[in-house]
Structure 1
Amino acid sequence: MVQAAGSDGIYMDASFNLYYPKGYNQLYDLPEDLKSVVSEHWGQFPPQHPLVSHIFGILFFVLWLVNFFGNGLVIFIFLKTKSLRTPTNMFVVNLALSDACMMFCMGPPVTINAFVQRYWMYGAFACQLYACIGAICGTASLLTMVVIGYDRYNVIVKGFSGVKITPGKAFIMLAAIWGYSIVVSAMPFFGWGGYMTEGGLMTCGYDYLSQDWNKKSYMWFAFVFNFIVPLIFNAFFYTKIVKAVVMHEAALKAQAKKMNVDSLRSNTDDNESAEVRIAKVAITNVMLWICIWTPYAFVNMIAVFGNQAIVTPMVSQIPAFCAKTASCLNPVVYAISHPKYREALSREVPCLGIREERKAGSNGTDNGGEESVQTKA
């Protein structure tokens, strides 16, 4: 049984196979005002199956729900719990805020679009604005993760000799993060770089398909200063953290051996798990960054300076979607790894079933969730 063809000649049969007239491609019925933000590159591919856009619409909706719950919970707990309202913890709140803003602005429009129209239905300017908001929030999140890494490096590696983050310094850092993100991401509106629809034609991002040097130079700048440089800093901070933890543990074992005891710790299992947790969180932070953001960054750069033929709609769309999953995973890694956050969460939201008891001897100070580890030559 075959379903009746639409006025555009495209139809699906009973087995959901898509049929379309010979010569049709993804750009066959685009409105004229949208073509300014749609690359001709996508015209070499056939019309996309409607089920693909529906799947992405559902995924964006699920991502939006998880994002809203996870980041909302982080913001609620950190702001409600007095002991957590410290300057350094405001970086975690800022990360949750930027991630929440990203999906709040990007999730619902795509979900609605996916079930109403096969291409971006809000017009060219809305496409550019959508992409700009995504760039602002994404850049702010990446830079905030660098600042969090720096703060934890200060606490764990430097200890008491580290730079103390005061409310004033924290405010200046956050203002610099948002100021830089807004200025750099707004450049396409002032003639440098550009934004366009991505492979599925329902989301928008950087214009990485144009061949003029104006667009290419902007992509180079974004790749180096919004991805590579922050990644290097983050990798440096967390490498130092892992090294300090390993050296600290080795020093304790050596001292225990000299004293002819098994361990200098009063509760070996718990304290060893704390040491291991610090290292695991540090490694997870870097690996999460690499696994989530690298595919999207390299697809962009392949299209700019490589073989554009391999950049199909799915090659473009899937990494772009995966990059947005960072907005859901960030609060899990940065907040759940914070013992005092878990304590507050178990107290304020008991329905989640989280059990985190306050450890005896806690002095009420807040060092970002980890103990200070300082190594001396």
Structure 2
Amino acid sequence: MEPLCNASEPPLRPEARSSGNGDLQFLGWNVPPDQIQYIPEHWLTQLEPPASMHYMLGVFYIFLFCASTVGNGMVIWIFSTSKSLRTPSNMFVLNLAVFDLIMCLKAPIFIYNSFHRGFALGNTWCQIFASIGSYSGIGAGMTNAAIGYDRYNVITKPMNRNMTFTKAVIMNIIIWLYCTPWVVLPLTQFWDRFVPEGYLTSCSFDYLSDNFDTRLFVGTIFFFSFVCPTLMILYYYSQIVGHVFSHEKALREQAKKMNVESLRSNVDKSKETAEIRIAKAAITICFLFFVSWTPYGVMSLIGAFGDKSLLTPGATMIPACTCKLVACIDPFVYAISHPRYRLELQKRCPWLGVNEKSGEISSAQSTTTQEQQQTTAA
């Protein structure tokens, strides 16, 4: 790997080790000579944070790792083994849980680095950490867009459900292929590179180098991995909300003309309630994606195009934490909002006290059976 600093300079530069008064240290003070060359110059000019900050983040990531592993593990287990949940639409939910689980798999690297206060595992594990983060982050965003597309079709075009298992699998494969260039290009240094960031305990693509290639890469990956899925999510869910409001308005007006309270049967009400609850869960997860990844996107844009002095180690660790937090929260959103998942969770883990009523989603279960029969041939 090409060094980030001049190889002719001594790797153990005094200015990268202490402030001169012996009391303060700069980031990189404990990095081996053969590894410090991979750290961007920007971080080597920043003061080392208190050891307690490293340890607090390490403990926080232990919590995230445990919660995400258990939560996403249960989602994968239940959605992949439950017959009632084995539908084309839920293939996207399963794919999202896989990406979220992959996201948490890099936590042990961060935890080890945190308790060793820096770039302890070196460049090789830094590349692994960043590769996992790129795959899982971009993949989760595109999967959220796919979920939005599916919910859009189910709710706004209920008589034209053309989602099959084959189509769902192909869409998931396309999502994985879509993520691949954004991992391979910086990993091979063909375009940009993966480097340490913040407290030097995490790694990401280089958004600090002051050159055209870096700025072009940051702008491109920001557009294709954040702006594109966000625009798709906003479009699909705005259409869903608009459809629901216009549909409800039409039903109320028709009921008023017929002098009846409602035109819905109990079966229709139960079916729509289940579908709306699923849509609410999807909207919540997409909102979490937007909230958690926006700070990181803004931070990378500041690094590439703005005032780099704003990017202190502590400030950059906040976006790094928020984008990991969403992988932990996603499965619990489904545990709260997804009726079929809650029912299955209640059956398999009664000690959780989920208390989901099966009658409320009986019509949805019937619809699921019909979908399975229609898509088996596919």
Counterpart of 2:10? none
- Written as runs of structure 1 = structure 2, the 5 A alignment for 1:282-301 is 283-301=283-301
Counterpart of 1:179? 177
Post-superposition Cα deviations, 1:249-284, rounded to whole Å, max 9, x if no partner, equal: 111111111111222345699789668746744653
Counterpart of 1:52? 53
Counterpart of 1:87? 88
In 1, Cα distance between the equivalents of 2:39 and 2:135? 21
Moved more, 149-158 or 259-268: 259-268
SS of structure 2 residue aligned to 1:48? coil
Counterpart of 1:371? none
Question: Deviation at 1:176?
Answer: 1.0
Percent identical = 39
Counterpart of 1:72? 73
Letter in 1 for 2:49: Q
- Written as runs of structure 1 = structure 2, the 5 A alignment for 1:1-377 is 21=22, 24-104=25-105, 106-115=106-115, 117-162=116-161, 164-190=162-188, 191-266=190-265, 277=277, 280-281=280-281, 283-334=283-334, 336-359=336-359, 362=363, 364-366=366-368
Does the aligned pair in 1 maintain the 2:93–2:147 contact within 8 Å? yes
Moved more, 269-278 or 39-48: 269-278
Does the aligned pair in 2 maintain the 1:242–1:278 contact within 8 Å? no
Moved more, 342-351 or 278-287: 278-287
Question: Deviation at 1:189?
Answer: 2.6
In 1, Cα distance between the equivalents of 2:332 and 2:210? 39
Letter in 1 for 2:175: I
Question: Deviation at 1:113?
Answer: 2.4
Question: Deviation at 1:347?
Answer: 0.8
Question: Deviation at 1:211?
Answer: 1.1
Question: Deviation at 1:39?
Answer: 1.1
Equivalent pairs, count: 348
Question: Deviation at 1:248?
Answer: 1.4
Unaligned runs of 5+ in 2: 1-13, 15-19, 370-378
Does the aligned pair in 1 maintain the 2:24–2:48 contact within 8 Å? no
Question: Deviation at 1:359?
Answer: 2.0
Unaligned runs of 5+ in 1: 1-7, 9-18, 368-377
In 2, Cα distance between the equivalents of 1:70 and 1:285? 14
Does the aligned pair in 1 maintain the 2:101–2:327 contact within 8 Å? yes
Question: Deviation at 1:196?
Answer: 1.1
SS of structure 2 residue aligned to 1:57? helix
TM-score normalised by the chain length of structure 2: 0.85
TM-score normalised by the chain length of structure 1: 0.85
Post-superposition Cα deviations, 1:104-132, rounded to whole Å, max 9, x if no partner, equal: 2x1122222222x1112111122122101
Shift in alpha-carbon separation, 1:347–1:278, aligned structure 2, 3 A? closer
Does the aligned pair in 1 maintain the 2:130–2:203 contact within 8 Å? yes
State the Cα RMSD in Å. Answer: 2.5
Letter in 2 for 1:320: A
Does the aligned pair in 2 maintain the 1:235–1:286 contact within 8 Å? no
